[in-house]
Structure 1
């Protein structure tokens, strides 16, 4: 592509971001939670095409192995590893990180994509092994505690990134700081949206604290927009799309997209040197579909007092002390 003319400068302009021509990342190590299915799978597949080593973190070894095989079949020469990790069991996080270091030989992480998540459709309310509401405990508290344990590996990289995958569903939600566990007001869709909102608050507050500590690690928040299975290409046995499902979902493609496209904001947040900590990235068209772009931080996410109170509560609920790693 020819470079545009510049005035008094011989420097070539930075080429536009191309989701189909990702920059090389040979030698980098990226960890993706929930990388064995859904959006996380496509984040892992796309990152593996850059030459990086990608570690899939999930609780089901069989699903992880299926995802590894699928990625290798679509990306010849892909370097894909797996570590067993259960975000709904805080006691399992320490052994998982030790396995990452001792068994897989990981000495640093250039990025972690906090993608894994659960969404319950129906009552009754469920709890994690630690007694936390299941969606809040898994989606937010599990990632909060995991990030604390991964900070030494992230700090060992020259300029690591923590990419938190939120949800467009969080845009219309507000946190109830007096009922974070949804004990008094449990409605599955609302509780899910709030759990993702908590993740997004965490990602932005984490970057503020990293900057204050002069850390080389940056924290970025992304969301996938609207991402539907029927618009997602098949990756058997990880995901199988029937012709009938694809045809029925075709009209929806005017507004939303498949999970392969929903992965792109996270992939850009990992790879694009122009991305900065504290930013929010999502799809270009109405925040629902299209190429990834930076968007203004949502008004309620900019409330630092809510973020700080959530942070304190999360430290208390998980027993995680970030002061030793963020200053």
Structure 2
């Protein structure tokens, strides 16, 4: 073992480093994985902004965080990723001089047909999960560039491993299957994030783009956070056998939190749970070849720019 690795402290998910004077935005920070990312980041002393379209749910999340983190500094930003025209205005309302990191977490997952569309006429999951974050990144670029070492953490999904993008049918207009469309929307996010880091490196930008995924994260294994969510004891008890393979959403947040905080993390990396990529403490994973395909990423980037009228590359320096 090298002296460098010996001197580096082991990452402890329960004893996070201080992040006082830093600011983080978590999209979808009012529920699920995003809530626990926000709660854990708030415990570091940072200002955490919850990006959510539902003000009541955001208020409930902030109340829960305040009840668990003494002196937590949390705010709500009205943010609707399905409404592309609203995103620049939302970022302007942040009223910040810089942003240390954004965790691109918010997402829609539909289980059944029919196919649904955003206000902009895009398939709902692809339009929200990928296109909304693609456009948001452009408007956040000046704030991230103004930080000493800004980070973009994209929350991907284990579901993306078995999917491949159909570049001729990105919006599933010909063959809509909800689970596949969801997996492809997450694959699009991850492909974009890796391509973004390549472009940031070409610019010699101080901003990094990193990907994290929660592995297998179940509500039934997640500790209660009233009024955000209450897990009945019976439900948790019945789910305990599944805990051999998967975990709760509190643990599912660990890879994204490490990707946002750990100074050893580098751009273009993928972080996920240690045990088969499904559960456990976060570790770096090899990037699957289909997620790192530059030709696919270039075509996806061009199509996304046309569909949103934005190009995140242009906002960074």
TM range (shorter): over 0.9
Deviations 1:190-223 (A, max 9, x none): 0000000000001100000000011110000010
1:241 to 231, 248, 251: 231
TM alignment of 1:167-186, pairs within 5 A = 167-186=157-176
Tell me what 1:73 maps to. 67
Instruction: Report the alpha carbon displacement of residue 324 of structure 1 after superposing the two structures with TM.
Output: 2.6
TM alignment of 1:117-266, pairs within 5 A = 117-266=107-256
Distance 2:313 2:131 in 1: 17
2:50 corresponds to 1:56: yes
Deviations 1:220-239 (A, max 9, x none): 00100000001000000101
Distance 1:195 1:45 in 2: 26
Distance 1:299 1:307 in 2: 12
Q: Secondary structure at the match of 1:113?
A: strand
2:268 corresponds to 1:278: yes
Q: Secondary structure at the match of 1:193?
A: helix
Instruction: Report the alpha carbon displacement of residue 5 of structure 1 after superposing the two structures with TM.
Output: 10
Tell me what 2:296 maps to. 306
Tell me what 2:78 maps to. 84
Contact residue 88 and residue 142 of structure 1 kept, 8 A: yes
Instruction: Report the alpha carbon displacement of residue 95 of structure 1 after superposing the two structures with TM.
Output: 1.3
Q: How many residues in Structure 1 have an aligned counterpart in Structure 2?
A: 317
Instruction: Report the alpha carbon displacement of residue 161 of structure 1 after superposing the two structures with TM.
Output: 0.4
Tell me what 1:111 maps to. 101
Distance 2:303 2:124 in 1: 16
Contact residue 138 and residue 314 of structure 2 kept, 8 A: no
TM-score by length of 2: 0.98
Tell me what 1:35 maps to. 29
Instruction: Report the alpha carbon displacement of residue 321 of structure 1 after superposing the two structures with TM.
Output: 2.6
Contact residue 209 and residue 326 of structure 1 kept, 8 A: no
Instruction: Report the alpha carbon displacement of residue 299 of structure 1 after superposing the two structures with TM.
Output: 1.7
Q: Secondary structure at the match of 2:88?
A: helix
Contact residue 222 and residue 281 of structure 1 kept, 8 A: yes
Distance 1:60 1:20 in 2: 30
2:314 corresponds to 1:324: yes
2:20 corresponds to 1:26: yes
Out of 171-180 and 316-325, give the one that drifted further: 316-325
Distance 2:102 2:88 in 1: 16
Instruction: Report the alpha carbon displacement of residue 98 of structure 1 after superposing the two structures with TM.
Output: 1.2
For structure 2, the 5+ residue unaligned runs are none
Deviations 1:165-190 (A, max 9, x none): 00000000000000000000100000
